Structure 1
Amino acid sequence: MNILCVVAHPDDTEILCAGTLVRYAREGHRVTMAVFTDGSMGDAVIAPAELGKMREEETRAAAAVIGAKVIWGGVMDEHVFPDREQRMIMIDILREADPDIIFTHSPNDYHPDHRYVGQLIFDAYFQKGLPHIPGQSLPACRFAHAQLYFMDNLGGIGFLPTEYVDITEVFETKKEMLACHKSQFQAMQQLANTNLFDMIEVQARFRGLAAGCLYAEGFTRMDAFQRGLTTRVLP
């Protein structure tokens, strides 16, 4: 299968979904990590142009840990909007990945970039397979009913998973991928008083408690017309 994770910022994938992607990669599926923005605004000291370059390099290093493909959206950080221009970018991301399964941010996430990325995926979902959408740079992909899953949000606030993935055996690989985002550890400590390793440990352990394992990632499936499945597709 083609597995696609689309997030707003570099490191969102590693925090919220990396364990599941590691499992897919180990099972031989094709994994693509798409980052919609350039992550250039996430530091109080480093200039945006320099930071954006650093964050793309960090993303590619993290993806290389599991042999995943990277799609770099390049939209300005903190400037995601569900408009026509950005929908066209999202359509091409979906066409390039041609996904069977899509992971993205939940509608109740805390950050507008996160919420709008999820909205853009919803809006672009059918258009990825329609060949006559004007202005697209890539041809239509399969008009398949890719299953869409919403990832947990930071802190799990107001998010009630309906499905879990046991990431106990791959948790150290998840940490290895997150460690590639060196620029974010100091920034998150300074700006949000947050240690990234502590954050993913606590959240994965809490979700694991509910799921009956040591570490887990939680998801909700977006059920809509022609998108439901009769079998589980998560690993």
Structure 2
Amino acid sequence: MLRTIWWFIYFFGYLIYSLPTIKKVNKLDPSMPVEKRDIIIHEKPKTWAKNLVNITGSEIKVIGEEKIPKGPVLFVSNHQGNFDVPILIGFLKKPVGFISKVEVQKIPFVSKWMVAMNCVFIDRRDRRKAIQSIREGVSRLKEGHSLVIFPEGTRSKGNSMGEFKKGGLRLATESKVPVVPVTISGSYKIMERSKVSFKAARVTVTINDPIYLPKDEKVDGTELGKLVQAKIQEHL
């Protein structure tokens, strides 16, 4: 229980401490190369996210990170638990933003950092707004930023995977950036098994071979989704 209390103190305490940094990163020279800019912006979020995971006592093993291409990519991951986001932010070397549900904007201080990290908020209840968010995500990718999507749309809370929602893969088919399937195994054991505390777990993040889309051909998003889901399933 003490570990859980410390986790929440650190969660909000570090965010408050880092608020002045947001003002600094928002004033970065816009002519700076995107890759360099993202590294600077993500420095504190990476520290915050990694420590949040470490406080739980969990061990994170990343396999295949050398497979990630340079430049912008779309990471497509299964979604086992609430810790998937801090795990990917903290333990992947490549800076990433997320396609996130709009409700996350209500969490104090978090939304400010997410905006700085080029995350995109999506309201699934409003089809028109959802389409606008997908277009915004495509623009982020074309600008050179990498993004993560969880096509299941919600946590599986176990090793099974839910059905992939079709809309998310439009980020790849319209931007034509490489798609990198990611398998997260074991993250649900940290929080989803307990209602009141965190449990230490061994989590494996497997980076699958990237999928390169043809630049001058139309790509079937449904077929792409099936391919990506099969690759993710192989390591569960």
Normalised TM-score (structure 2): 0.40
Which structure is richer in relative contact order (CA contacts within 8 A, separation 6 or more)?
2
